[in-house]
Amino acid sequence: MCEGDGAVSLVFRHTQGSGSSFVITYMENGTQKTTSVGNGGSNTVLFNPNLGTNTITITKVEDDSPASCAGTGNTITIQMNPKPVATLSLVDPEYCDGEDVFVHYSGNGVYPINAEVLDASNTVVQTVTINSVSGGNLNLGPLPVGSHTYSIGNITDGSGTTCSNTGNSTVSVTVLSLPTASFVKNQYTICDGESVDIGQLVTGIGTVSTS
């Protein structure tokens, strides 16, 4: 079962023995509890399992006959797996136009974990498989100039019950345009011995050197 599935119904049944009713002593993860069952009947008890392996053992079954006969029962285990978690993080916050853009993915839970990576329009870009807590890098390829946002969508794990979750991790990367430089005029006419300021037209982000 998966985290958040709620309580489990433990059904105690009388299978054999004398008497009209039976007192059942059992252990829930080391805590002793009791319940009663009528002859040939059953009784249902709700159990809220913990994450991991839960053990329920019937330690004693005693009837109400004059002899107070007592026997034992069986043991069951209930495995509760955590919801899988996947997150995105930045490899670099900024890239130059034409460069491959990377984001890092990682996760926790029962491996392997499959997680959808969504773009800003909630379209699935790729489903990544996470095999360890360290995760890996996803190559998004060259992206257009501007800001790009990615998030985690549906997440499923590799447990037998295929536990699922919805991601809430979001990252944004920026692709910067390449700087350019050009002369203000294409042609100048000067006399011998004169100088001219050819000027420069520079575009880009930040400080651009043209020396």
pLDDT at 10: 94
Full 3-state SS string of the chain: CECCCCCEEEEEECCCCCCCEEEEEEEECCEEEEEEEECCCEEEEEECCCCEEEEEEEEEEEECCCCCCEECCCEEEEEEECCCEEEEEECCCEEECCCEEEEEEEEECCCCEEEEEECCCCCEEEEEEECCCCCEEEEEEECCCEEEEEEEEEEECCCCCCCEEECCCEEEEEEECCCEEECCCCCCCCCCCCCCCCCCEEECCCCCCCC
- Are the C-beta atoms of residues 133 and 150 closer than 8 Å to each other? no
pLDDT at 40: 77
pLDDT at 184: 67
HSE (side-chain half, CA atoms, 13 Å) at 208: 13
Residues 6+ apart with CB under 8 A from 59: 25, 26, 27, 32, 72, 73
Query: What is the rounded CA–CA span in Å between residue 75 and residue 55?
Result: 7
Integer CA distances (angstroms), 24 to 19, 78, 91, 170, in order = 13, 20, 58, 52
pLDDT string in tens for the chain (211-residue length): 999 999 999 998 877 766 678 899 999 999 999 999 887 788 999 999 999 999 999 999 888 777 777 888 889 999 999 999 999 999 999 999 999 999 999 999 999 999 999 999 999 999 999 999 999 999 999 999 999 999 999 999 998 889 999 999 999 999 999 988 777 666 667 687 766 666 554 555 555 444 5
In tens, the pLDDT along 94-152 reads: 999 999 999 999 999 999 999 999 999 999 999 999 999 999 999 999 999 999 999 99
